[in-house]
C-alpha cells in the first residue's frame, strides 16, 4: 500500500496545524491516498477536523533553531519506522499539491528518491548553495521511499549524521551549522553510495521563497505578491516557504 507521511509540530512562532488544514485537503483531492500525520499532543489538540487521518503522536525532539526561532525538524530520520506504508510519499506540511505528479513517482520501482535541484518560481534564482558546502545539497521536502534494506540504511545513516552533525559540517565544510535534513540526507546518501550517485526526482522542486507573500489559495492554484509583482502557479505542486500562508 502507498500512503503519505507528514510531520506537523507547532512552535511559539508558527501554527503548522493551520497549514495542514490547507494542504491535507489538496493531498486528498489529487492523490487519493491514506495520510499519516506525525505530531505531538499539543499540536494534535489544535488540529481541525480533516476527515480520516492516521495520527502518530510522539514526543518530538527540541532544541534546533532557524533565524533564532524554534525549528522542530529533528525527527525526520524516524520516517521509515513511523510509516505504516510499503511505499511512502514523505512531505513537508507546507508542500501544496495541485497535481497527480507524486503518484507517478510513487509508481516507479526506485526504493528511495529525493529532489537534488530546486526551482524558484518567482524567477529570482534564490537557491544557490553550491558555495556553502563541498557536497551537493538535496531537498528533503519531498522524498519517495519503500520499505527496503537500502531505504532503512539511509534513514539509519541520517540518524547517525544527526547525532554527529557538527563533525560532518566540518568534514564537508557546510556553512549551515544548525541541523538541516537537506544536508543530513545528502551526507547519508554520499556516505552510503560514494561516487555511484543516487536516484533523484527527475524535476526541480518548485519553491516559493519566504519573501513572496501568498495572497490567495484555491483548489487549483496559489497567488502571491513579490516586491509589488503578482504571480500565480496553477495545476502544479509547490513548496511554500512563507509560513504566513497559514492565515490566508
Average model confidence (pLDDT) for the chain?
94
54-74, pLDDT tens digit by residue? 999 999 999 998 888 899 999
Residue 195 has pLDDT above 70, yes or no: no
pLDDT of residue 194: 67
What pLDDT was estimated at residue 15?
96
Please state the rounded mean pLDDT for residues 72-98: 97
pLDDT, tens digit (0-9, with 9 covering 90-100), for 93-102: 999 999 999 9
- Tell whether the model's pLDDT for residue 126 goes beyond 80: no
Looking at per-residue confidence, does 195 or 227 come out higher?
227
How are strands ordered across the β-sheet holding 35-39?
Answer: 54-57, 35-39, 2-8, 87-91, 139-146, 112-115
pTM above 0.85, yes or no: yes
Which helix (H) or strand (E) segment is 123 a member of? none
Assign residue 63 a region: left if phi > 0, alpha if psi is -120 to 50, beta otherwise? Answer: left
Model confidence at 196, pLDDT cuts 50, 70, 90, reads: low
> Cα 41 to chain center, whole Å?
21
Q: For residue 124, is pLDDT > 70?
A: yes
Determine the angle formed by the axes of helices 165-172 and 149-163, rounding to 10 degrees.
90
**Residue 112: closest CA among 240, 4, 235, 200:** 200
For residue 53 the three cell numbers come to 487521518
Is a pLDDT exceeding 70 seen at residue 89? Answer: yes
* pLDDT tens-digit series, residues 13-44: 999 999 999 999 999 999 999 999 999 999 99
| Domains of the chain, start order | 2-206 (3.90.550.10)
pLDDT tens digit sequence for 172-186: 999 988 999 999 999
Q: Which among 73, 113, 108 is positioned nearest to 93, based on CA atoms?
A: 73
Amino acid at each position: 500500500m502507498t500512503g503519505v507521511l507528514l510531520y506537523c509540530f507547532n512552535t511559539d512562532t508558527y501554527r503548522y496545524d493551520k497549514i495542514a488544514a490547507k494542504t491535507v485537503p489538496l493531498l486528498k483531492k489529487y492523490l487519493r491516498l491514506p495520510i499519516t500525520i506525525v505530531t505531538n499532543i499539543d499540536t494534535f489538540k489544535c488540529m481541525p477536523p480533516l476527515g480520516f487521518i492516521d495520527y502518530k503522536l510522539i514526543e518530538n525532539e527540541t532544541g534546533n533553531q532557524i533565524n533564532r526561532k524554534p525549528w522542530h525538524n529533528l525527527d525526520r530520520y524516524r520516517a521509515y519506522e513511523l510509516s505504516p506504508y510499503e511505499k511512502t510519499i514523505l512531505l513537508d506540511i507546507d508542500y501544496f499539491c495541485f497535481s497527480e505528479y507524486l503518484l507517478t513517482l510513487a509508481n516507479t520501482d526506485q526504493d528511495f528518491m529525493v529532489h537534488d535541484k530546486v526551482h524558484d518560481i518567482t524567477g529570482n534564482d534564490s537557491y544557490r548553495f553550491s558555495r556553502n558546502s563541498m557536497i551537493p545539497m538535496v531537498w528533503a521536502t519531498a522524498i519517495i521511499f519503500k520499505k527496503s534494506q537500502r531505504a532503512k540504511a539511509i534513514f539509519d545513516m541520517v540518524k547517525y549524521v544527526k547525532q554527529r552533525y557538527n563533525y560532518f559540517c566540518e568534514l564537508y565544510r557546510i556553512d549551515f551549522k544548525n541541523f538541516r535534513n537537506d544536508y543530513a540526507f545528502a551526507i547519508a546518501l554520499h556516505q552510503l553510495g560514494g561516487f555511484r550517485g543516487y536516484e533523484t526526482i527527475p524535476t526541480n522542486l518548485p519553491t516559493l521563497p519566504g519573501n513572496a507573500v501568498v495572497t490567495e489559495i484555491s483548489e487549483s492554484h496559489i497567488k502571491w505578491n513579490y516586491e509589488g509583482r503578482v504571480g500565480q502557479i496553477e495545476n502544479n505542486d509547490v513548496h511554500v516557504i512563507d509560513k504566513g500562508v497559514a492565515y490566508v
